[in-house]
Amino acid sequence: MEFMISGRNLTVSDRFREYAGEKISKIESLGDKVQRVDAKVSKETNARQTGDQLTVEVTVLGRGPVIRAEASAADKFAAFDLAYNKLLERLRRAKDRKKVHHGRHTPKAVREATATLEPASSNQPIYVEASNNIQAAPEPAEKSPYDVENDIPAGDSPVLIRRKVFPAASLTLDDAVDNMELIGHDFYLFVDKATNAPSVVYRRRGWTYGVITLDHYCEPGENTHEEKILAYRSDDAAATA
């Protein structure tokens, strides 16, 4: 399993690399043939808050769906612990879901599968760094409105548009909802397996979701608006797939 860690607007110390690497090495048993784990630490200055906010984003890439977690705190160790705890929960959820999906009526308990892992709490960080050990992060050489990773100004306009291209994934609506929850996003773009149409599922208020589908067979000016309500993992949803 490959582990990559990078920093934005700060220097990642060897101490932090060792701390993160030791914990990340313990998640391989939970993932579906984990091939790579990417961790990104970024420092953002918020004018409304005192001091800087550090954010850690951890992404697991493997044979199964992408699993991601993100958290922020006053120091990078605490932020990493919070993100790590979220990641463990999502990995466990994905592992249990896979066992049930393959028809195992008595899957191994989560407690047994994670027996080698330390107890994780999403409320309190596992590690708290003493204030006299916190290394001051170097300030960027120059402040710029374009100070965004991999972004460059286009002409004189301060408005930037970032484009990302991913392989088209043909999924059922239920699987798209599950994948969205595993990466912690509020939306998920996919190709609907039932209609073969580009679709996006998104989170609404409470435990409800919405999905928008593009009808590429619709003629210009033709109104084919259609709305339907389905229950998650219901027989109706399975029938449409």
What contacts 211, CB < 8 A, 6 or more positions away?
A: 173, 176, 192, 199, 200, 201, 202
AA letter at 22: E
User: CA 138 to CA 136: how far, in whole Å?
Assistant: 6
User: In which band, very low, low, confident or very high, does the pLDDT at 139 lie, cut at 50, 70 and 90?
Assistant: very low
Please tell me the predicted confidence (pLDDT) of residue 107. 46
Tens of pLDDT, residue by residue over 181-232, are 888 888 889 999 888 889 999 988 776 888 888 887 766 666 666 667 777 7
CATH fold of the domain at 170-240: SHC Adaptor Protein (3.30.505)
The domain locations on the chain are 2-133, 170-240
Question: How would you write 120-161 as a 3-class SS string?
Answer: CCCCCCCCCCCHHHCCCCCCCCCCCCCCCCCCCCECCECCCC
Pairing of strands 187-192, 170-171: parallel
User: In which band, very low, low, confident or very high, does the pLDDT at 105 lie, cut at 50, 70 and 90?
Assistant: very low
Architecture of 2-133 per CATH? 2-Layer Sandwich (3.30)
Please tell me the predicted confidence (pLDDT) of residue 20. 93
Tens of pLDDT, residue by residue over 149-186, are 555 555 666 777 878 887 887 888 888 888 888 888 88
